[in-house]
Structure 1
């Protein structure tokens, strides 16, 4: 076995429970022991490793154990010819993990006389000039701050040159021209998730090999381009880790959550971002607080969840999740309810369970808009448990009441709390019977599960009933109408905070086939019954006329023929 101080230290941190590693890094340790560290033909250049670390900590920042671990493998060589063992390095970490900072240190060191290879030029490549300049700019600013460094390096906004070795560090864009014929010693590809293919990568690495010890660094966080360059690179990484590829085909350092559910425990976040491991530096603690705030914000606005999981946790979520509408669009439903007496409407029903909430409603057409009158029923036991309905002065429960002020909504007449083992379906039937006195209910729509309970009761009361066999299918069908309706303020709920709450709790999930479903942001407390009820009404709203029959007859009677 070959040993290296910083490699052994990092593995020891994991084995003693000081740090948490994701599956890929656990596999990395096993793979290193099985295929790399047990070899007799390799050696770590400890002097070069120490020089690089000291260089980074003197001119940049204190290096964390995982960064020293990564540096060690940059300087792992064959004994017989002193060539680098790893030409390709893949570093994938959550945003804020210090990828660019570490690349600044390493690239600055590699062009220096401490590395000692003349004209060891390095290009930093990214899709945008702004991103490509990140590390070269940091090197430039560091040199500008220190007179000693200015004696060794000549730096401008476009490149840094070592006076001793003639090595040049510069940035390039992946879509730039005149790439052929580059004589680089190393190439850094930043934000690799944005590469759709390896076409541009091949051009940039074509000049490698003309200098000793060529290196390629692929750094970044996961992204949204699927089946592209990054996915192929990840496949290669897994083959290496599983012993299915040449051991030195790639050095894969991949940090991510193992499962989406792990995000709920902040102690797991270091799996995606090793900068967050204890003890944290001042920078890392600030980063942790920032990520925590972003995570807490998702409870009220989950529209950023995909971005958070992809960029912070390095784990693209399988389904793209979105709020059904912006809060400003939901607020815009607070329009005065027009006079709808005598008008045609579609009745609609939804309840997730007769043990918690049920919603019923009437959808109208009126001057190109869709007014919605609704009422809900809730079980007392449920709202006591989750919203502190009965506890008026319990400070511990204040947050629950604020989450859903059931008592306030009850006072406003928006819902009825019933003290029953289950919500009696007759309450819903009675509501429609009462509404029939004022409006012309053409039919009542609900899905198969709900109508199994209610259909007979409603038909006995004289209503036509339509059963939706596949309610999820109509979500995708109606999604364009729902999006357009909110965006153009076509939905009228009146001043109904309960309906706004229902709507804000809806999560739009885009399935693999592109179809959309309306689900919940949180399965228990965040109810969506009123919104689902409204969607069922929209399903048949085109059967309604946009005029009042009685008003039309009155107008005809008024005409003097």
Structure 2
């Protein structure tokens, strides 16, 4: 057994009912007690940890119990060689919980002679320069306000260096091109909710390992980018907390409310923001008053609820007046449980061989994306099998916040050359699908009418056109909402289709009719969803008599 007084004290606060923790932190304590604190090959470097606490409380701020608990594991080492046990740390909390302040003190300590590792460089990375400079500026200002620190550290507007260890702190934007080759000892990734892909982490992590005890910190509050870096990291964290990945070197500290109803219960807000645990500091009291004011204003300004839930409660919630479905409903097109639930089991797509289906096509913008698909109905479930074509020239000119190359590798899309997406790509896909399934009819809008009609009819397909696609959106909206809510729609393991769907903006017109538009005209594509809508327009009529498809093939 290994012990640390700050770890023990924090666990005791919870067990004695003095603080209330969310599900993920309860799971963390159980995981630690079962798999980590029971080991005899590890030890807490208590001397180094106490030195860090003294450094922080002298130059920055008093540390809260949860911060001392968290940082204890930053200094958890192997007995054999004094190497760190946890190499990565996930710090996911509500806005105002002091993430950047904690990172400022850690970064400053790491480059100091108190840490004692020469050239232990620290890179602070964020999506924009203002956020990347938040902790950097705090360190810069702290040094400038204390003469003794000015004698120990050299500072400019772009870097801070320890005279003794020659260790440097720099800030970077997440653009991989700004990486200037530091041999980092530590990388801090801020605002990780905005990372659509792993590209930034892959680039900056490649410089680690050249100095002892390299660490990475992933910090932030949840956001609106789904199926990106943060969602994948939360999946990874759950696997650790469940005991399924015991060799993963990530320490996951996740604070959030457990249920949306807790957003209306201030005594539960400590689950999302641990600053509100136990006796409140002066800072926490002021912050609590501010959040209570914001909460009261939700009655007269309900449009701000989504921001309040996401940033103050760390519990993302979509505005169903403007979105097709909740993220949990979109997620359940591929998994049996939602993204915030513990187990995620892939929904199995039933055998569709030779089943009747209807084709859907969105070929409106031939210079960027085109989407094709087949819609099946099995019992109450709709199954959507889809593929996309993306023009390389478009990808070269517009930086999409999406892992396009990963999706190509999964076979979900094809990147094509040329000034436009040629119609033969579309036709060939439907021909291949016809060989496997009972495909005879394809529904499309009237864009590129002559081009599409001639090419597909020449191959024997029956084409039905929707002359006013937006007119059918309002008619289909109740059915779309129902099949998402009842989990009667299956995409399978298709992050591209989830991306398309999450990008849809539902516009309610003055007459009450709804239209499915894009949340961003250029960077958030919806082609796959529009192709699905086209197929759904005729699905019930054409697929309800599926038995006839089989009977017609039988010679009596």
Partner residue, 1:218: 218
Displacement after TM superposition at 1:179 (Å): 2.4
Partner residue, 2:454: none
Partner residue, 1:499: none
Q: Separation in 1 of the partners of 2:503 and 2:73?
A: 42
Q: Does 1:271 find its partner at 2:271?
A: yes
- Residue pairs, 1:38-77, within 5 angstroms: 38-77=38-77
Task: Give the conservation status (yes or no) of the 8 Å contact 2:193–2:229.
Answer: yes
Task: Give the conservation status (yes or no) of the 8 Å contact 1:89–1:251.
Answer: yes
Partner residue, 1:192: 192
Q: Separation in 1 of the partners of 2:74 and 2:199?
A: 25
Partner residue, 1:238: 238
Partner residue, 1:162: 162
TM normalised by structure 1 equals: 0.59
| Deviation readout 1:481-539 (Å, 9 max, x if unpaired) | xxxxxxxxxxxxxxxxxxxxxxxxxxxxxx97958598xxxxxxxxxxxx99x749xxx
Partner residue, 2:102: 102
Q: Separation in 2 of the partners of 1:246 and 1:159?
A: 37
- Residue pairs, 1:316-327, within 5 angstroms: 316-321=316-321
Q: Separation in 2 of the partners of 1:41 and 1:273?
A: 33
- Residue pairs, 1:82-161, within 5 angstroms: 82-161=82-161
TM normalised by structure 2 equals: 0.59
Unpaired segments of 5 or more residues in structure 1?
Answer: 324-471, 478-510, 519-530, 537-561
Task: Give the conservation status (yes or no) of the 8 Å contact 2:20–2:268.
Answer: yes
Task: Give the conservation status (yes or no) of the 8 Å contact 1:36–1:247.
Answer: no
Task: Give the conservation status (yes or no) of the 8 Å contact 2:7–2:69.
Answer: yes
Q: Separation in 1 of the partners of 2:76 and 2:181?
A: 28
Task: Give the conservation status (yes or no) of the 8 Å contact 2:121–2:168.
Answer: yes
Task: Give the conservation status (yes or no) of the 8 Å contact 2:41–2:80.
Answer: yes
Q: Separation in 2 of the partners of 1:266 and 1:99?
A: 21
Task: Give the conservation status (yes or no) of the 8 Å contact 2:125–2:132.
Answer: yes
Q: Separation in 2 of the partners of 1:41 and 1:180?
A: 38
Displacement after TM superposition at 1:476 (Å): 4.7
Displacement after TM superposition at 1:317 (Å): 1.1
Q: Separation in 1 of the partners of 2:125 and 2:148?
A: 28
Unpaired segments of 5 or more residues in structure 2?
Answer: 324-472, 479-500, 514-556
SS at match of 2:89: strand
Task: Give the conservation status (yes or no) of the 8 Å contact 2:237–2:250.
Answer: yes
Task: Give the conservation status (yes or no) of the 8 Å contact 2:321–2:506.
Answer: no
SS at match of 2:210: coil
Q: Separation in 2 of the partners of 1:321 and 1:223?
A: 18
SS at match of 1:170: strand
Task: Give the conservation status (yes or no) of the 8 Å contact 1:25–1:254.
Answer: yes
- Superposition CA RMSD, Å: 2.7
Partner residue, 1:283: 283
Q: Separation in 2 of the partners of 1:22 and 1:55?
A: 30
Q: Separation in 2 of the partners of 1:247 and 1:32?
A: 13
Task: Give the conservation status (yes or no) of the 8 Å contact 1:95–1:312.
Answer: yes
Partner residue, 1:34: 34
| Residues 264/125 of structure 1: CA separation in 2 closer, same or farther (3 Å cut) | same
| Residues 512/168 of structure 1: CA separation in 2 closer, same or farther (3 Å cut) | closer
Q: Separation in 2 of the partners of 1:321 and 1:97?
A: 30
| Residues 263/185 of structure 1: CA separation in 2 closer, same or farther (3 Å cut) | same
SS at match of 1:177: helix
Partner residue, 1:3: 3
| Deviation readout 1:116-155 (Å, 9 max, x if unpaired) | 0000000000010100000010000000000011111111
SS at match of 1:154: strand
Q: Separation in 1 of the partners of 2:175 and 2:82?
A: 34
SS at match of 2:188: strand
Partner residue, 1:203: 203
SS at match of 1:82: coil
Q: Separation in 1 of the partners of 2:262 and 2:321?
A: 17
Task: Give the conservation status (yes or no) of the 8 Å contact 2:112–2:162.
Answer: yes
